[in-house]
Structure 1
Amino acid sequence: MAATTHTVTNQAPPLVGYDVFAADAVLTEGVARYAAPERLGEIRTELGELGRAAGSSQAQRWGAQANEHRPVLRTHDRYGNRLDEVEFHPAYHRLLGHAVSAGLTGAWSRPDGHLRRAAGFMVWSQVDAGHGCPVSMTHAAVPALRTDPELAAEWEPRLTSDAYEPGLLPPGGKPGALFGMGMTEKQGGSDVRANTTVAEPLAEEGAYTLTGHKWFCSAPMSDAFLVLAQAPGGVTCFLLPRVLPDGSRNTFRLQRLKDKLGNHSNASSEVEFDGTTRVRRVGEEGRGVATIIGMVAATRLDCVLGSAALMRQAVAQAVHHAAHRSAFGGLLVDKPLMRNVLADMALESEAATTVGLRLAAAMDSGDERDRLLLRLAVPAAKYWVTKRAPVLAAEALECLGGNGYVEESGMPRLLREAPVNSVWEGSGNVQALDVLRALRRDPEALNAFLTEVGLARGADHRLDGAIKDLLSELADLEGIEGRARRLVERMALVLQGSLLVRYAPPETADAFCASRLGGDWGGAFGTLPHTLDLASVVERARVPF
């Protein structure tokens, strides 16, 4: 064979070996903004350790391996005995173990716990998003369990533990536990009141058996699940352990794993209960939706954080490529049109991260106004941020050209992952209708939202105009359901604009308001007004490398 026919030139070096946290100016500034000063040093140290691990070549290999080697369902052993287990690649367990040890399931008992956990979740999710599903549900199960002090005392220390031990063992013999969730049934979807799974009470107080199914049961290898079923008093929340206290396995028949568009490292399943499945009631009979709503709110916020993490990684990869790739006589990052595309994506990413951190800080504060703000802002942000992630991932992939379309780049995995957060925990219509429900039932929530966005009033005329237009739209409730998506989109953009005007550099806030609120913006990324300082916006998003 001939000697080398060419040398490799003009290729960007791998974006590896860096601190994912420290390299993200938006994230570091947000943590400093909301953390108590006396704890900021400790939080930065924790997140720096996690950030360096996330940027390491080892962690990136784990992410690739966990997605390449998908979970495998083992329904029976060689003798025909039911197993109902899911087998994962070792890389998945390493990712999940690192997440648990980093405190990503332990926010509820730590000062600034939700803020530091949100930042860590965004950092570590950039390695792999799939294992974030059990991390998110374990974290989110705590408020539901707290409706039953006895159950909370038993399970909360396990859920918030920093120890991870895979395998189905009696919960009392494990240093930590993971939770999953089963609400969706094939005939009902998001309409959980149409669920047909039946719970029959037993003689023991709070004990029931289940008969029925779940069409989507996430993370089926978890130690326990929160599920909804029809009890004599109506839809009720139950705790379903995989292993019973005597060491025997609960009846939990895994029918198949879902073959999903993305989220390949994570297992999602269909599961059957045959009348011998034992569960414990959580909360009152007939109050299942109200009991589990705290879990839903927390996982919806994680949809925002997960999408923000995905967008950040996509933008980091695109800017990194453009900063090292030459074409038509210069670096791509210096070409006006490419700079416009990169700046536009950077704005979207910064707005998503900024609103996610604000909502996480609100969960920490305990302030009544913040509680009311969350009631509207979480579904609005979940609606909008998760909608923006897929289009941004596609644009970022395009920035790498053919290099981005091949699996080795990691960009196709980001693109496949992007839609899941808009579907999980309620699709776009569900979020929009939830906002309408909150507006009708809790007018004080709107006051809290308007107070929050009004903190930037007078700082930018385009933001002021957008707030005025929003008030006009809220004043006319005729046919509101048919235009709910537009209303919720405007609410999310106004909230993002208010936060950026208050906290982002002037060039970033100016570009956001000029495009998202001022009307001078096209339908695709890369249509920002050319007179803006786009170079500074791009440089802010660049990973120093």
Structure 2
Amino acid sequence: MAASTHTVTNQAPPLVGYDVYTSDRALSEAVERHLDPDLLDAARTELSALGTAAGSAEVQEWGVLANENPPKLRTHDRYGHRVDEVDFHPAWHRLLDGAVSAGLTSAWNRPGGHVRRAAGFLVWTQAEGGHGCPVSMTHAAVPALRTDPELAAEWEPRLTSTVYEQGLRPAARKAGALFGMGMTEKQGGSDVRANTTAARPLSVSGEYALTGHKWFCSAPMSDGFLVLAQAPEGLSCFLVPRVLDDGTRNAFAIQRLKDKLGNRSNASAEVEFDGTWARRVGEEGRGVRTIIEMVAATRLDCVLGSAALMRQAVAQAVHHATYRSAFGGPLIDKPLMRNVLADLALESEAATTLALRLAAAYDEGGERERAFLRLAVPAAKYWVTKRCTPLAAEALECLGGNGYVEESGMPRLLRESPLNSIWEGAGNVQALDVLRALQREPQALDAFLREVGLARGADHRLDGAIKDLLTELADLNGIEARARRLAERIALVLQGSLLVRFAPPEVADAFCGSRLGRDWGTAFGTLPHTLDLGAVVERAAPEFG
């Protein structure tokens, strides 16, 4: 009967069948900017292919299915044997296969590898964010393992492989392996020095038995884990394989899977070690120093993951406003809606531009770039991930009531949006890390100032923001209580300097006039009305149809 009383009109078509990469001008321009010209043709081809797949109806359906069918824990088999396995929907495995095949677990051994991987990670995780966790940890484990050349020689080829093999068996019998990480415990959280898991030496060759627990262990189906535990000489880093070389299961009891707000497709577990075999990585008593490079790399992936979510949210909002009419015309032509969309687009472009600049610093690898990363990574991780949730909420609102309905996909983005702000150290941890870099490593501030100084004189609001930041840094009174403010200003000044140098004038003008100027409200959609907002929105529109 309903079919005879009305027809469906004025609904935006699904945003499918488009190239996620080439439609993102901020991202594709950043890749062109940071890669050697000799690498560009191959990078364009691989990223466009990945973007076309990520924007396809099939892969987007994989994302929906992986989210709607979360992993399930099987502690025992039918005969009562302890197995501690996690079962995932086939869509999860297809997404992981796509990520591994695209080289998203490997950036360390090829020219321009970090920029190419960062762009691919940003593109592919727009289909579904949860599977990015094991992808990120596998990629990030490499520098930690390199502190032990013997372990690196054994494991690095497996972690950087482009072959995905699911299932638990000895890693030596697999063409590729995934890695996880176990740092936090229930009594300590981010304060890992409060860990109580004990590591008892078994031999002089670096073998230990671990006893204790981990409160958060993501992707417990992985082939190996980097774990922190207390050895006789202090907190140390260990490699824990899930399956031993002889085919027996290591002692790795999964107590339960976390029931999380978002990130539903990814399993996060509580695990117990009871005589668990492990191999020490790095020196005993220097576990934090050993694992810190892994943490830094995963923090960059937090920035990339948030930038990906922001971009997908903005693309959906602009797409909807393009095809939806209200009050006599397309929503996108309404001045107030255009202001909201432009503000969202600025936030997304600034996040993407900053994330790819950090990836390029990893590729360059010189002393100054390493110093730059020491300050820029925690500042970016603090600010970009913090901005993700309000952006996702505002983008959802652009779709009105349709955005509040699960079928739109926007609620999934909103639930996922706080994750990267919490994972690998929440906001206060990042802000305090910014302070440590400022206080203990003066070369980090020098590298940062050299970077933002490249844009000096191009915009008076940026110049004023740099001056104000230096004034803030000169005043040490109550500096810990001001750590968040400092991290925010460092990130905004860095984003502004990059946009002034590389973005179109209308984008740089709008960003500096709002984020660095005085004419910006607390909500999205409060940009000065005199700016060229139409051009900002047009730049952010996904190429569809």
Please give the TM-score of this superposition, normalised by the length of structure 1.
Answer: 0.99
Offset, 1:14: 0.5
Distance of 1:430 and 1:2 partners within structure 2: 55
**Which whole-Å CA distance do the structure 1 matches of 2:148 and 2:41 have between them?**
36
- The runs of at least 4 consecutive aligned structure 1 residues that moved more than 4 Å come to none
Instruction: Supply the AA of the counterpart residue of 1:179.
Output: F
Deviates more, 1:360-369 or 1:222-231: 360-369
Cα separation, partners in 2 of 1:5 and 1:116, compared to 1, 3 Å = same
Residue 65 in structure 1 maps to residue 54 in structure 2: no
Contact 2:19 2:543 in 1 (8 A): no
1:352 is paired with a residue whose SS is: helix
The residue aligned with 2:109 is 109
> Which residue of the partner structure matches residue 484 of structure 2?
485
Partner residue in 2 for 1:199: 199
The residue aligned with 2:239 is: 239
Question: What is the match of residue 42 of structure 1?
Answer: 42
Residue matched to 1:411: 410
Corresponding residue for residue 77 of structure 1: 77
Report what 1:432 is aligned to: 431
Q: Which residues of 2 match residues 115-126 of structure 1 at below 5 A?
A: 115-126=115-126
Task: Please tell me the residue identity of whatever aligns with 2:170.
Answer: P
* Partner residue, 2:400: 401
Per-residue displacement from partner, 1:109-154 (whole Å, max 9, x unpaired)?
1110000000000000100000000000000000000000000000
2:22 matches 1:22: yes
Matched, 1:284 2:250: no
Distance, in Å, in 1 between the alignment partners of 2:515 and 2:365 is: 31
How many residue pairs get aligned? The number is 544
2:183 counterpart SS class: strand
Give distance in 1, aligned partners of 2:375 and 2:4.
61
Matched, 1:165 2:146: no
Q: Provide the residue aligned with 2:440 in structure 1.
A: 441
- Structure 1 segment 213-252 matched on structure 2, within 5 A: 213-252=213-252
Deviation, structure 1 residue 4 = 2.3
How many Å separate the matches in 1 of 2:414 and 2:75? 31
Cα drift, residue 5 of structure 1: 1.6
Structure-2 change in CA distance of 1:214 and 1:5 (3 Å): same
Q: Which SS does the other structure have where 1:212 is aligned?
A: strand
Distance of 2:438 and 2:204 partners within structure 1: 41
Superposition deviation, residue 367 in structure 1: 1.7
Unaligned runs of 5+ in 1: none
Q: Which residue of 2 aligns with 1:519?
A: 518
Letter in 2 for 1:446: L
Q: Distance in 1 between matches of 2:118 and 2:294?
A: 15
- Which digits, 9 at most, give the CA deviation of each residue in 1:421-472, with x for residues without a partner? 0000000000000010111111011000000011000000000000000000
CA offset digits 1:217-253 (Å, max 9, x no partner):
0100000000000000000000000000111010000
**Residue matched to 2:154:** 154
Inter-partner Cα distance in structure 1 for 2:2 and 2:416: 42
> TM-score normalised to the size of structure 2?
0.99
Alignment of 1:67-466 (within 5 A): 67-274=67-274, 276-466=275-465
Q: C-alpha distance in 1, partners of 2:129/2:155?
A: 25
Question: For the residues of structure 1 that align with 2:460 and 2:106, how far apart are their CA atoms?
Answer: 42
Q: CA shift at 1:337, angstroms?
A: 0.2
Distance in 2 (CA, whole Å) between partners of 1:4 and 1:22 is 42
Q: Residues 459-498 of structure 1, C-alpha deviation per residue, up to 9 Å, x if partnerless? A: 0000000000000000111110001100110000000000
Q: Residue 482 of structure 1: SS of its match in structure 2?
A: coil
Task: Say if 2:73 and 2:256, in contact at 8 Å, map to a contact too.
Answer: yes
- Deviation, 1:53, is 0.3
Distance 1:306 1:515 in 2: 24
Q: CA–CA distance in 1 between the matches of 2:292 and 2:277?
A: 23
Measured after TM superposition, the shift of residue 106 of structure 1 is 1.1
In structure 2, C-alpha distance between the alignment counterparts of 1:478 and 1:34, rounded to whole Å: 39
CA distance in 2, matches of 1:53, 1:115: 19
* More displaced stretch, 529-538 vs 204-213: 204-213
Determine if contact 2:239/2:278 at 8 Å carries over to the other structure: yes
Contact 2:306 2:420 (8 Å CA) reproduced? yes
Deviation at 1:519, TM superposition (A): 1.5
Find the residue that maps to 1:543 and give its secondary structure: coil
Shift of 1:203: 2.3
Amino acid at match of 2:11: Q
Q: CA RMSD in A?
A: 0.6
- Matched position secondary structure for 1:205: coil
Please list the CA deviations of residues 5-25 of structure 1 after superposition, one character each: whole Å capped at 9, or x if unmatched. 211110001100000001000
Aligned partner of residue 136 in structure 1, secondary structure: helix
Post-superposition CA distance 1:357-391 (Å, at most 9, x none): 00000000022111100000000000000000000
- Give the deviation of 1:33 after TM superposition: 0.1
Cα distance in 1 between the residues matched to 2:371 and 2:346? 27
**Which residue of the partner structure matches residue 507 of structure 2?**
508
Distance 1:368 1:281 in 2: 28
In structure 2, C-alpha distance between the alignment counterparts of 1:413 and 1:540, rounded to whole Å: 25
Q: Structure 1 residue 173: deviation in Å?
A: 0.3
CA shift in 2, pair 1:496/1:77, >3 Å: same
- The one-letter amino acid paired with 1:40 is L
Distance in 2 between residues matched to 1:473 and 1:384, nearest whole Å: 18
Instruction: State the alpha-carbon separation in 1 of the partners of residues 149 and 76 from structure 2.
Output: 37
Matching residue's letter, 2:265: S
CA distance in 2, matches of 1:431, 1:16: 36
Partner SS, residue 481 of structure 1: coil
Give structure 2 stretches of 5+ with no counterpart: none
